[in-house]
Structure 1
Amino acid sequence: MKNNYFYNETNFDCLDAAYKPLLPIEQKSVPLRVPPLLRSEQHDNHVSHYTIVAQEGEIQILDGPKTKTWGYNGDILGPTIRFTCGETYTITLVNQLPEVTTFHWHGLNIPGPIEDGGPFAPVKPGESKTITFTVNQPASTCWLHPHPCPNTASQVWHGLAAMVIVSDAHEASLDLPRTYGVDDIPLILQDRSYHDNQLDYQRDYDADGIQGNVALINGGVNATFDVTQQRIRLRVLNGANRKEFRLHLDDDLPMTVISSDASLLPKPITLTHLMLTVAERSEFILDFSDYKLGDCVVLYSDDCPILTFRIKEFARNKQNSIQTNFSMAPLSTTHEFL
């Protein structure tokens, strides 16, 4: 079984005259960086408290000098932030960057313009702001990124992005992988260009969106992931500024897609090829039960390898067939398609 990407190929970004293809990097592989989970500083009166700091950093990406980057609570990208439907959160947002930024919750159904973190919610350098909101939406994969005008693209290019996972009682009742970092893995896909190992946004600037030849996955290159469970769930975000990612496994291992931007699908869809446009999210399950110890399976975007799955000894636990129906009573009238 093979499928196309369900898009008109004449509109693919690779046909644009300014397109920069992803190219393999000739350096040793490294373990996939799995972002840590953001921990609550306190929990009182059913309110969880977090602090998120936008800061400058430095990290080893390519061989040679380290790359100067920006990140949330670290050198690049940020911790994974987990929210639960019905819960309330108070978050202190701190700006340690040399310019104004905002903290935009892409995909969260929360009030604006301040809590949402759009262009009208600036946090100046050296200052902080505290917001409070209640999460009321189905389980989904969202993300946090800056949204200051006109520097959104530049700040994302420098490394500001973090995955956000929303859970609810319905999703928790389903037979899905959900052990974070083991069989529930966040993947932030991006592309970059480097000049003596450094980013130069102005040098690479394109009014239609900046591109690069180097594929990043969770802020690194040539990543490997050791598979110890027969089924793993990948939460994939296209965090690039412009590039489309056209995903497939080297042996056409099927991807069982269970979720898109807003929520779980009514039922899984099996694909061998999946395209994600900018800011799009998808969750899919890979079933490695037919593989043996020592096998390797490679995830590609077009012709560029981006992640190698190394099959290890599977843990002994129940991992049966993938649930075939995710239907639920609607959370509200805005989610009747579920």
Structure 2
Amino acid sequence: MGESLSFPKQEQRYLRLAVDAYLDDRNNDAVDLFYQARQIANTLTDLQESALEVFCEKACYQEAIDLFDEIIIKQDCINATNNWIQYFEDLADSYSGLEEAYNNEKASKIPYEFLDLLTSADFSPLADDLPISPEEFAEKIMSTDLLNAKEQTLIYQNLQSLPFDEAKELIYILLQSKRIHLIFQTDLIHLLVENQEKGSYYLRDWQGEKRLVDFADLKLATDEPAFKAGVGYIDSVYQDDPFLMEIMHQEWLLFYCAVYPFFDTLNMKVKEVIKGLTEIMGHVKAVNDMKYQKIRTIRNLIYDGIGGQNDPLNH
């Protein structure tokens, strides 16, 4: 038998009509059509992915960038941000005009009403984006199965909705597990730091080794001096190439969060890491330095995800 048929998402028809109306300066009609797309989409994520794709189909690249920026702003965990960055980079591979639009740095074009309809969680109920039931939540926490990115994001959202005293016990159960991605571990640590958690705890580093961490000594990863130094270095080096600057900001965020709070154990300077990331992304053949091999391994952990063949936690 042949492969099963793949049907387009239902909301795409309305999104295409909405963008056509927008291009004809019929914004009121466009709002109605975006709302209809919102009503029939299975999840907010489905709606947003479809909208980004339709904007690119119609060569509305600046509008796609505006929507993507708003989606990223509204993410509340690094794991979800990582998923969106990867999706957007895949789109840029398919639509060359998207990268060109990034380089041109034009002003925002998309009307605010569109952004609100496409990113606000307050409109229609989207079943798959709602918190999972307490029974399913407990089952996912205690299971021995590997957690995929969506499951980790759902767990994070549920933890946020709980009183911290209840969430804390579940966070520690997850931190003991080998089932979570390094990025998700950072999201969990952030929940503890944001709630002024005290005491010490053993956490796994990127090599799978347990290291004692004092939560009282931690800041959020994005507030750490080393992370900020990296952002400043990227801004100074790539100021003439805004698209590459954006990509490097994303790469640096994910890399730092994968090694947080153990950046010092790399025994590398911030500039060395960023230069290594740049060369590895550019597939430079001469990357034989042991430090760069270390960077490559960590980057593989980020993008392969837990369960990947490069994951030291599986060995």
TM norm structure 1: 0.23
Greater Rg, structure 1 or structure 2?
2
Name the one with the larger strand percent.
1
Name the one with the larger helix percent.
2
Using CA pairs under 8 Å that are at least 6 residues apart, name the structure with larger relative contact order, 1 or 2: 1
TM norm structure 2: 0.24
